Amino acid sequence: MSAAVKERSPEEYKAQEQRLRAVWANPTGWRYWTSVNNYQIGLWYGSAAFAFMLFAGVLALLMRLQLAVPDNDFLSADLFNQAFTLHGTVMMFLFAVPIFEAVAIFLLPPMLGAREMPFPRLGAFSFWSFLLGGIFVCGSIFFNAAPSAGWFMYPPLATDKEFSGIGADIWLLGLSFIEVASIAAAVELIVGIMKCRAPGMRINLMPLFAWYLLIVAGMILFAFPPLIAGDLLFEMERMFDWPFFDAARGGDPLLWQHLFWIFGHPEVYIIFLPAIALMAMIVPTFSQRPIVGYSWIVLAAVGTGFLSFGLWVHHMFATGLPQISLAFFSAASEAVAIPTGVQIFVFIATMLAGRVIFSTPMLFGTGGLAIFVIGGLTGVMVALAPFDWQAHDTYFVVAHLHYVLIGGMLFPVVAGLYYYYPLIDAKKLSDGLGRLAFWLMFCGFNIAFFPMHLNGLRGMPRRVFTYPAEIGWNWLNLISTAGAFIFAAGVLVVVFDVLRPKHRQPRGEFNPWNAGTLEWISEPEENWGVRSIPIVRSRYPLWDQKDLARKVNEGRYYLPDAEEGWREGLVTTVLDAEPVQVLRVGGTSHVTIVSALSLGGAFIALTFHWWIATALAAIICFCAVIYWLWTGTGEIPEKPEKDVGLGLSLPLYASGSDSVGWWAMFITMVGDGTAFASLVFGYFFYWTIHANFTAGIAGPDAVWSLVAASLFAAAWGLMVAARTVNRRGATATMRGLLVLSLLTTVAASATGLAAPLSPGMDPTRHVYPAIVWILVIWVLAHAALGTVMQAYCLARSLAGRLTPKHDLDLGNVVLYWHFLLIAAVTTFAIIGLFPAAM
Amino acid sequence: MGRYFSLSAASLLLASGSAGAQTSTQSALESAGAEAQQIEMLFWVMLSGGTVIWLGVVGLLLHSALVNRRRLAEKSASSIILWGGVVFPSVTLCALLAYALWLMPGLRPFAQASPAALRIEVTGRQFWWEVVYHPPLGPPVASANEIRLPVGERVELTLKSADVIHSFWIPPLGGKMDMIPGRTNRLSIMATKAGLFRGPCAEYCGTSHALMALSAVAMAPEAFRSWLAAQAIPAEGAGASGGALFLRHGCGSCHVVAGTDARGLIGPDLSHIGSRATVAAGILPNTEDAVASFIARSDLIKPGSRMPAFDMLPPDDIRAIAAWLRGLR
């Protein structure tokens, strides 16, 4: 190695450092907000999520005041219902999930020895979408227009306009928008963790936090799309009266419950696992030794992720499903306790094998675990169908879920805040205030929530705005309210500790906890993540690799310079992290804000049925995204390769599965395919619940369906051919094939449209035509997007930005077409042939 | 206004409690039904086991964090993961699961084996309960907001909904079952002790979800049968004078009172309202004051309810109607 590193003069070193700093610098003034750097995005994301948490916390306090005494009228029934709906919604969608995306965007690049996330602008887009959607949803309560049907939005209460007003639309559209942001962040996290690790950081050397985030991002990818599919059905019912959940016209309210909980249960683990990930970073540091049972904990986390998708029915034990299903889902729900137990015992084992330095982060961590274990044990109880018949929808469950989420998520997050704060500010938070906050929160929490177990068993249902005096819940409710305020005081102490001015406090030392992982190299003063990208040979490189920090900061590893003025990082292989490419990522830009705000505008305008505004905002968003892609992706570099230091030269361009863009497309389409699969699930769900599925309504024409499927297959074949001939250099043929494929797609869409149109299927009449139409619309919308992509590739080729050697765009579009082909053939085969085959 | 009425409702309820009327219980821990008893037992077993496990885990956690000063060898530490994290929970959970699954078929037995003698159809509506008894002999008997059942006999409940999802739950008798539009759920319950129980709606169903409860009265089988026979015929008081006011003010367009021209099907059947434990779906005591206040300001007492407030009527008419309704026993 040393032979390859030329000794540099101090001037040369300074010049390198200055160039690097200039490239990564944040814009100043108001343009600061156009920054896309992972530190800024992570901080903004996290602060916004925390602010939403405080807002939802205030709603909780208002509810506790209302419930402090029986027959209270502090809040009206309607306002109380809005408050509990928003409390749950905000805590889940605007705090618990985003806070981890925030922490991950902030921490992952330095932890993996990367300079940035692979798609910084996507991260910024995700943040701005989240902020706008969050403000829209939260703000509704100030206009007395917040959703009030519960965070689970069960139809028909939430679908029927007689029972629910605009609040339901605000919930659906506002949150759909945020779910899109979450999926965008998940795509970025997965690609970042798989492809952007420091050279040598093989997958089994990866910090546990990265493992957990990889699992969680994967779960988001499979859990959110069913909800998005559900939202689509839901909004079609609300806006256009398609009867997906209307029993009178063949719909079924239970389909929503299935789709919601297929999302909703993994959601719990999406929230919980990253918190355990923070613990998995904190515990080894304060035990001053590597984690015991690295493979155990990784396997347990993967197992939890898998199992969490098989538990959703335990939210539906009282819906009257057959006992055999109840037994199966009871068993599956019990099983998930085992990997959870393994994770807790990994921490205990690590502490036993080390010597624990007990500090504020450990206080919050162990306190949180003590609370969480109670939540886990009550979880084992409610997982059994018979006990759940009593406990379901009572305050017992309210207590259970808060023990799980506050013990398993909020306490570890605060532990993480105290642990990682030096990376934000180079200073520690106050130990004294931390301890005070802990004891207030710990005692307040237990005083508030423990009595709820008893109240629930004494028959107090959830979501009641008041209760009569003589049932015997009065004292326990009053105690809960007092506890809630003590808990809130503890949270306020944390907020104060973070916000109090610290300029008099001297800059803290480097790596103040003597941690072993790479993120502690990064300096809060610098935006570049790591001064140079190191070679990693250990799970705890700062403990095991002598002088690593010094050498990194002296720029002795990869990419210590930014001579061409680009923000650059390394792309490495998935398993072994061998460097394969230099990735140039997008820098500061306003296009992310424009596209996020216009997309948000479209969703908001749609809520109020302002069709023209919706169309305008959608067009602006479309143009912004095209501009973003055209100017910021698939750039052809000025030279094929670049010297990255240490005698290594790497290509600047990659396409196909070597490129991060291909991976992002693949991952996005897996999510998209999951949403499609959820709609197909809906089709067969209706088939199973009805003896006469079609209700005597004439189905789509089989011939039209088969022609449509064949034309889509032909269009796909032409796309694949276009890519192949392009690689051979036949640019003109490629353009011709693209045009041909585009025309075939249009023809395929027209025939696809004719399939349900020719027998005159009316989607408002019965659920059968409605579910057929939604599948067709899904395919046609994707086909429309497909034609845009074809036109884009054509334009890129004509502009000389897509060449035989630089075919990233075309490769990604062909990948999109693989998925489109599957969706189209599946759809037309099902709608055209299945009714006849029955 | 809201304060006045909700307070008055509360004080009325309190008054009824202290006046020596039978008090109702809503606790799953005071079981009086076959299913509830088994589940309560299951709960105590799990609670004891859970407490021991929690003390063990937290004790170990505190020991390892605060007390332990000798570094355990990695191998022994790994075996702690194996035994504590895998073996112990697997064995415990299997045993617990076996116990619960063994309970399940017995808790909610249905049809073929032993057809229940009595079937009660309960339909959830915002925010009250429609009740129809289907005795093995004789015509169906309609009622509302209260079910009565014979002690020691299995009763089959047919649960439906007319609008949104509700959930039927009488904690002392057994667990809950949802009432879902378009679906018919069945539940089998058996009271083992006589008593008055209260069952809240257990699925959030809109504005006044909190104000939707059901009274359940478990009574001796003979008493039950004579009560049911009496319910099948019009109440004695139906012909009394308040009935004319009831009809004149249009109450009959929403309510049924057997033996009169009141045949509306939108609101609860009031044929024997005077004999029920509570009025307005379990939220008010069955007193003349309470009935009168509900007629006058139903919008404040039960926001979102479809019953309009009749405070434009002369107070004396409201009184007279309330008195007449109280007489429908």
| Parent domain of B88 | 34-107
Q: Which residue matches tokens 């919604």? A: A89
> In this complex, is the C-beta atom of B158 within 8 Å of any C-beta atom belonging to chain A?
no
Residues of A in contact with B10 (CB under 8 A): 70-71, 468-469
Lowest pLDDT segment from A168-172, A477-481, A539-543, B69-73: B69-73
Q: Indicate the average pLDDT of chain A.
A: 95
Across B260-288, b (16+ Cβ under 10 Å) vs e yields bebeeeebbbbbbbbbbbbbbbbbbbbbe
Residues B135 and B215 in one domain: yes
**B232 to chain A, closest Cα gap in Å:** 31
Residues B159 and B272 in one domain: yes
E strand residue ranges, B98-184: 118-125, 128-134, 141-144, 146-150, 154-161, 166-168, 177-179
- Calculate mean pLDDT across residues B220-242: 92
Strand B185-190 versus strand B154-161 pairing type: antiparallel
- Calculate mean pLDDT across residues B250-263: 94
Model pLDDT, residue B106: 87
Q: Are A352 and B24 in contact (CB under 8 A)?
A: no
Residue A280 is classified by DSSP as H
Closest CA to A755 of A671, A688, A805, A828: A828
Residues B178 and B303 in one domain: yes
Give the whole-angstrom CA distance, residue A245 versus residue A231.
12
Determine, for residues B80 and A254 on separate chains, whether the beta-carbon distance falls below 8 Å. Answer: no
**B176 to chain A, closest Cα gap in Å:** 5
Q: Are B289 and B198 in contact (CB under 8 A)?
A: no
Reading the block at residue A484, the tokens are 């809630």
- The residues in B 97-116 lying below 8 A from A, measured between CB atoms, are 97, 100-101, 103-105, 107-108
Amino acid at A159: T
Cα A324 from chain centre: 33
Determine, for residues A154 and B165 on separate chains, whether the beta-carbon distance falls below 8 Å. Answer: yes
Model pLDDT, residue A6: 57
Check whether A768 has a pLDDT greater than 90. yes
Give the whole-angstrom CA distance, residue A749 versus residue A761.
17
Residues B139 and B167 in one domain: yes
Give the whole-angstrom CA distance, residue A817 versus residue A835.
27
Determine, for residues B6 and A393 on separate chains, whether the beta-carbon distance falls below 8 Å. Answer: no
Model pLDDT, residue A203: 96
Check whether A700 has a pLDDT greater than 80. yes
pLDDT for A73-99, tens place per residue? 999 999 999 999 999 999 999 999 999
Residues of A in contact with B216 (CB under 8 A): none
Check whether B9 has a pLDDT greater than 70. no
pLDDT for A25-76, tens place per residue? 999 999 999 999 999 999 999 999 999 999 999 999 999 999 999 999 999 9
Residue B113's pLDDT band (boundaries 50, 70, 90)?
low
Model pLDDT, residue B116: 65
Cα A66 from chain centre: 34
> Which domains does chain A show, CATH number per domain?
510-651 (no CATH), 667-837 (1.20.120.80)
Check whether B3 has a pLDDT greater than 50. no
Q: Are A652 and A639 in contact (CB under 8 A)?
A: yes
Residues B128 and B260 in one domain: yes
Determine, for residues A459 and B26 on separate chains, whether the beta-carbon distance falls below 8 Å. Answer: yes
Closest CA to A184 of A130, A137, A135, A234: A130
Residues B210 and B120 in one domain: yes
Residue where a domain stops, chosen among B85, B107, B129: B107
Model pLDDT, residue A4: 44
- Calculate mean pLDDT across residues A213-240: 96
Give the whole-angstrom CA distance, residue A285 versus residue A655.
40
Residues B100 and B202 in one domain: no
Check whether B58 has a pLDDT greater than 80. yes
B19 - beta bridge partners?
A: none
Q: Can you give the CATH number for the domain in which B294 is found? A: 2.60.40.420
B195 - beta bridge partners?
A: B218
Determine, for residues A78 and B169 on separate chains, whether the beta-carbon distance falls below 8 Å. Answer: no
Residues of A in contact with B126 (CB under 8 A): 163
Residues of A in contact with B9 (CB under 8 A): 71
Residues B226 and B82 in one domain: no
Residues B186 and B247 in one domain: yes
Examine the predicted complex and report whether its ipTM is higher than 0.90.
yes
Residues B38 and B18 in one domain: no
Check whether B300 has a pLDDT greater than 80. yes
Determine, for residues A338 and B50 on separate chains, whether the beta-carbon distance falls below 8 Å. Answer: no
How does DSSP assign B188-239, residue by residue? EEEB-S-EEEEEE--S--STTGGG-EEEEEEE-HHHHHHHHHHHTS--GGGG
Give the dihedral of Cα atoms B192, B198, B204, B206; nearest 10 deg.
150
pLDDT for A334-387, tens place per residue? 999 999 999 999 999 999 999 999 999 999 999 999 999 999 999 999 999 999
Determine, for residues B176 and A300 on separate chains, whether the beta-carbon distance falls below 8 Å. Answer: no
Give the whole-angstrom CA distance, residue B329 versus residue B327.
6
Q: How much is the pTM?
A: 0.95
Residue where a domain stops, chosen among B84, B107, B130: B107
- The residues in B 123-142 lying below 8 A from A, measured between CB atoms, are 126
pLDDT for A631-668, tens place per residue? 988 889 999 999 999 999 999 999 988 899 999 999 99
Model pLDDT, residue B70: 84
Residues B97 and B122 in one domain: no
> In this complex, is the C-beta atom of B75 within 8 Å of any C-beta atom belonging to chain A?
no
Model pLDDT, residue A161: 86
**B92 to chain A, closest Cα gap in Å:** 10
Residues B7 and B83 in one domain: no
E strand residue ranges, A455-593: 567-572, 579-585
Q: Of B27, B122, B208, B302, which to mutate for an interface test with A (greatest number of A Cβ within 10 Å)?
A: B27
pLDDT for A601-635, tens place per residue? 999 999 999 999 999 999 999 999 999 999 988 88
Residue A581 is classified by DSSP as E
Q: Of B57, B157, B179, B266, which to mutate for an interface test with A (greatest number of A Cβ within 10 Å)?
A: B57
Which residues, 6 or more positions from B112, have their beta carbon under 8 angstroms from its beta carbon?
none
Give the whole-angstrom CA distance, residue A290 versus residue A208.
11
B71 → closest Cβ in A252, A353, A467 = A353
Residue where a domain stops, chosen among B79, B107, B135: B107
Task: Report how many Cβ contacts below 8 Å link chain A to chain B.
Answer: 282
- The total domain count for chain B is 2
Model pLDDT, residue B1: 35
- Give A615-620 contacts, CB < 8 A, sequence gap 24+: A620/A594
A571 - beta bridge partners?
A: A581
Model pLDDT, residue B69: 79
Model pLDDT, residue B110: 64
Alpha-helical regions (H) of A73-206? 77-89, 97-112, 120-139, 166-195
Model pLDDT, residue A163: 86
